[in-house]
Structure 1
Amino acid sequence: MSTFTIFLALIVVVAFLLIVVIMVQNPKGGGLSSSFGGGGTQQLGGVKKTTDFLDKSTWTLATLLLVLILASNIAINRGGDTIDSKALDQDEATTAPLPAPLPATNDDATATPADDSTGK
């Protein structure tokens, strides 16, 4: 298993967790934190602590996702130090040769009025 594959799997997992954490939040104070408003959750820390946890986990997961994406760019197997672009290759001529002109034909269909011998 290559390093890039490991990074790719971690990116997918972190992205999924980030989606779940964002979907649980409600910008008006609802969501998961308000559904835990009664019963034994007041003893666990209350609504404010749940909102703080969701906010911190969102920022942490977003930062982790960005770092994993940037680190996966380093881990991509590039297959050597070859230049794949012909635009960057300086050994080749910069101008392409012009195509050869087509041979002229003397058909009646292509005759011009100056070539017309009837005089009309």
Structure 2
Amino acid sequence: MLFLIILLIIICVALGLFVLIQNPKGGGLATGGSGSNMFGVQRTGDVLEKGTWVLLTLIVVISLAITTIGKTGGASTGSGSSKIQEHLDKTPTPSPIGGNVAPQTTAPAPAPADTAK
């Protein structure tokens, strides 16, 4: 599971770089300027766009895999998480409506004060 998390972080960084490298697709603030694509910029844009979609798909698939492994426990669960689970299993859960609350005992009335001095 740790390997998948590290792989996910690497893919996220690569996706960020792919997005930052791409040329803007017109519209917005990038509309006033050069209108010609020189030196094969269109091909590079296609490769970067396809790479972005591939990396995005990998992020979704790996995120779902991490979630599935996390829910089922996975084969590589460490001893720390099992100790935590054992501790949680030992602690009693209180009733949400307060059924396990001890009955309150009334305190004895205070003794009358001696007013004769």
The higher radius of gyration belongs to 1
When residues 98 and 9 of structure 1 are mapped into structure 2, their CA distance, relative to the original with a 3 A threshold, is: closer
The unaligned stretches of length 5 or more in structure 2 are 113-117
Q: Which residue of 1 aligns with 2:43?
A: 49
* Higher share in helix: 2
The unaligned stretches of length 5 or more in structure 1 are 110-120
Aligned residues: 89
Q: Distance in 2 between matches of 1:94 and 1:15?
A: 42
Q: Distance in 2 between matches of 1:104 and 1:75?
A: 54
Q: Which residue of 2 aligns with 1:13?
A: 10
Identity, in percent, stands at 26
When residues 102 and 60 of structure 1 are mapped into structure 2, their CA distance, relative to the original with a 3 A threshold, is: same
Q: Distance in 1 between matches of 2:17 and 2:96?
A: 53
SS of the residue corresponding to residue 65 of structure 1 reads helix
TM-score, structure 2 normalization? 0.56
Q: Show CA shifts across 1:8-34 (max 9, x none).
A: 12111111100100111232468xxx9
When residues 97 and 71 of structure 1 are mapped into structure 2, their CA distance, relative to the original with a 3 A threshold, is: closer
Q: Moved runs in structure 1, 4+ residues, more than 6 A?
A: none
TM-score, structure 1 normalization? 0.55
For residue 97 of structure 1, the aligned residue among 96, 100, 106 is: 100
